[in-house]
Structure 1
Amino acid sequence: MASLHSFRRELRRMDHGRVLLGTDVGQICENVASALAPHQMELRGRTLPEKAAMSRLRVGDLDLVKLRYGSDVAIWPEPSNEFLLLQFVLSGRVEVEHEGTLTVGNEGQGLIIEALDHRHLRLSADCEQLIIPVRRSTISRAIEVLTGRPAPARYGFDQSFDLGQPSGASLLCLARYLLLCPPGIASSGSPIGTLAADLLANHLILAHRGAGSLEPKSAAAPYPVVRAEKYMRENYALPISINDLASHAGVSPRTLSSAFRRFRGVSPMERLRELRLEQVRASLSDGSAVTVAHAAAMAGFPHAGRFSEIYRQHFGESPNVTLAKARTN
């Protein structure tokens, strides 16, 4: 596979940060746990892992970990639901046994380990992997935005896939992008890692889930949007921040913003302004407002001058014209 071979060459740039993990099993486990997860390990043969090495690259808050043990090993990760592990098998063979089911990843394949509960891994001596941990909270948030429903406890992702097929090759391209990111935009705190993690999550949901698609069932807005809009309508006259809306909707501000842009085409605060403008127009049209300034203030617009321009841009006429029409009728 030409793309995998070129990717392996590009991965050599990670070697400047390579760490030799030692020959003591306990020391190796401790070093790997610092980048991935606590686990127990034992040698499957009599040879010591003299070539055990790990390279780690951080892009924002996302990690790329290149790992090889250099010996046949068996691994028992400690149970954890914090991360999902996306693994690219660069060479050799990985076997993952879980609840009586054996999943095999050979060179040129990818593996998705949803959670580290009751897994038994076996790696060949020539096995080398690139591993990307993805927070399960990121996956769950993406599912919530896509479907409008709470994420299930089990995602049901494909346990293995071919890096030569479109869905696998696209993941390889994303990993290559992270690898080649200029240091200036890949530093800690950069949004690139967050954006890449969100893209990874959405790709896994839409392209690597077997039976039972997690795509939206309908065009109906998800419940965080509905709850936020209900709160807006009931409290439009009050000062409202994005944090207020997110807290009431029960999601993070970023999740709420993503949901609004997907299902409403605007940000939550832009939607709040639309609802306030609609309230002003209603009060001007039905005669319940005495003046434009009164209607604007009652709908949560403190500055009448700026409000008039916003109103005209939205409705194509000034609020004074709307009020005059109501009085004429």
Structure 2
Amino acid sequence: MSVLRSIGFEASSNDAIRRNLDAVEPNWRWTITAHSDEDCSLKFRRQYLHTGSIVTIEHSVGIGAVARRNTARISIYFVLAGAMEISDRTARSVLSIPANHVASACESSGKRLAIEPHSSWLAFHIPEPTLRRHFEDLTGRPYVQEFVLPPIRFCEDDGLGLYRTLRQAEEDLSSVSSEERPILAKAYQQLALAKLFAKTPHNLAEELGRGSLTDAPRQLLKAEAFMRENLSNPITIDDLAVAAGCSPQALQRMFRSHRGDSPVGILCSYRLAAAHGAIKAGRMTSITDLAMSLQFSNLSRFSVLYRSAYGCSPSSALRFARDEGKMDNVESDET
């Protein structure tokens, strides 16, 4: 996979700032709150990683933006000066990130940004599927609960290691050769994700600790890898035991000891996570077809399990996703 080089621009008028932001971040509808072009400036730089990117912005004007559609992208915002506010109309919540703090937000339709004049910030953008895969590879546990990093100070406390890694990645990738760049970009992304999971107080920390791969037996890890590769196929405990290279009874004991659940329970969590991802991304035609494709033969049972994991029924989640899709189409027509 080829890795793009960095891009950047500097602009010194309202129109130029808005035009350039529209070009580099087209999923956001940008507004500039400056009343004139006097003292109007913005510097933008993006450094591409393997699948993610690092963005640094410094601006004298106030900036607002509304997300046009869901992108399944998680953004980790480090606010260096000024302040940022992220409003979520769906959750009816407002996330405020003051200077010297870091927090995460998922880029979803209708989400609003409001950033004070004379602000500077760094954003680590990572696709949620990449975050999900890294978490599952790191822990061997299904990514059922979505990642949330609440606002914390990063200059002296948790989060400083991640910030330093991203800054070092910017510096190294700006001067590396085109031959070395893909390898270094992938390595920095893996390191940044490791620092994100291991060194920041996010909501998955407990799961991360319980799912440490360093303590998990090799047979258990083989069984979990087999699960992830065969979510749409029928799987029995005997199939898992064969893949793991041990007896079914030994495998049951390993899962109870290291995962706090049975192999079947962990497999169910992986399938629920896959269903949730498909619903959010719109990769499905009906709840029944989705459930059957993931080996949930009892639709009522699937709904109960899904609601327990995600707080709403799969039909409600699908209806919301389709409503957002209709709103995206209306907004696209208007623009």
Check conservation: 2:72, 2:106, Cα contact below 8 A: no
Cα RMSD (Å): 3.4
Are 1:102 and 2:91 an aligned pair? no
Cα offsets for 1:247-303 (capped at 9, x unmatched): xx9xxxxxxxxxxxxxxxxxxxxxxxxxxxxxxxxxxxxxxxxxxxxxxxxxxxxxx
What is the aligned partner in structure 2 of residue 67 from structure 1?
Answer: 57
What is the aligned partner in structure 2 of residue 83 from structure 1?
Answer: 73
SS of alignment partner, residue 225 of structure 1: helix
**Measured at CA, do residues 62 and 142 of structure 1 come closer, stay the same or move farther in structure 2, by a change above 3 Å?**
closer
Check conservation: 2:150, 2:202, Cα contact below 8 A: no
From 41, 46, 61, the counterpart of 2:30: 41
**Measured at CA, do residues 232 and 105 of structure 1 come closer, stay the same or move farther in structure 2, by a change above 3 Å?**
closer
What is the aligned partner in structure 1 of residue 327 from structure 2?
Answer: none
Give distance in 2, aligned partners of 1:179 and 1:162: 21
SS of alignment partner, residue 112 of structure 2: strand
| 1:180 CA drift (Å) | 2.5
Gaps (5+ residues) in structure 2? 1-5, 230-239, 246-266, 268-335
**Measured at CA, do residues 119 and 188 of structure 1 come closer, stay the same or move farther in structure 2, by a change above 3 Å?**
farther
What is the aligned partner in structure 1 of residue 182 from structure 2?
Answer: 190
Give distance in 1, aligned partners of 2:169 and 2:205: 30
Cα offsets for 1:136-185 (capped at 9, x unmatched): 22210112123323323622x22322112442111121022212316236
**Measured at CA, do residues 224 and 33 of structure 1 come closer, stay the same or move farther in structure 2, by a change above 3 Å?**
farther
Residues 175-254 of structure 1: pairs in structure 2 closer than 5 A: 175-181=166-172, 183-184=175-176, 189-206=181-198, 207-210=200-203, 213-215=206-208, 217=210, 219=216, 221-222=220-221, 223-226=223-226, 230-231=242-243
Are 1:142 and 2:134 an aligned pair? yes
Give distance in 2, aligned partners of 1:135 and 1:168: 20
Give distance in 1, aligned partners of 2:7 and 2:225: 44
So what's the TM-score if we normalise by structure 2?
0.55
Check conservation: 2:166, 2:192, Cα contact below 8 A: no
Give distance in 1, aligned partners of 2:178 and 2:155: 27
SS of alignment partner, residue 206 of structure 2: coil
SS of alignment partner, residue 214 of structure 1: helix
**Measured at CA, do residues 141 and 197 of structure 1 come closer, stay the same or move farther in structure 2, by a change above 3 Å?**
same
Q: How many residues align?
A: 218
What is the aligned partner in structure 1 of residue 41 from structure 2?
Answer: 51
Check conservation: 1:138, 1:201, Cα contact below 8 A: no
Check conservation: 1:95, 1:102, Cα contact below 8 A: yes
Residues 270-289 of structure 1: pairs in structure 2 closer than 5 A: none
| 1:50 CA drift (Å) | 2.7
* Residue type of the alignment partner of 1:86: I
SS of alignment partner, residue 44 of structure 2: strand
Check conservation: 1:97, 1:121, Cα contact below 8 A: yes
Give distance in 1, aligned partners of 2:190 and 2:26: 21
Check conservation: 1:146, 1:216, Cα contact below 8 A: no
What is the aligned partner in structure 2 of residue 294 from structure 1?
Answer: none
Percent of paired sites with the same residue: 12
Give distance in 2, aligned partners of 1:148 and 1:133: 24
From 96, 108, 125, the counterpart of 1:116: 108
| 1:122 CA drift (Å) | 0.8
So what's the TM-score if we normalise by structure 1?
0.56
Check conservation: 1:139, 1:201, Cα contact below 8 A: yes
SS of alignment partner, residue 150 of structure 1: coil
Give distance in 2, aligned partners of 1:145 and 1:211: 14
| 1:188 CA drift (Å) | 7.1
* Residue type of the alignment partner of 1:169: L
| 1:115 CA drift (Å) | 2.9
Give distance in 2, aligned partners of 1:214 and 1:208: 12
Gaps (5+ residues) in structure 1? 1-15, 234-248, 250-329
Give distance in 2, aligned partners of 1:106 and 1:196: 27
Give distance in 2, aligned partners of 1:17 and 1:192: 17
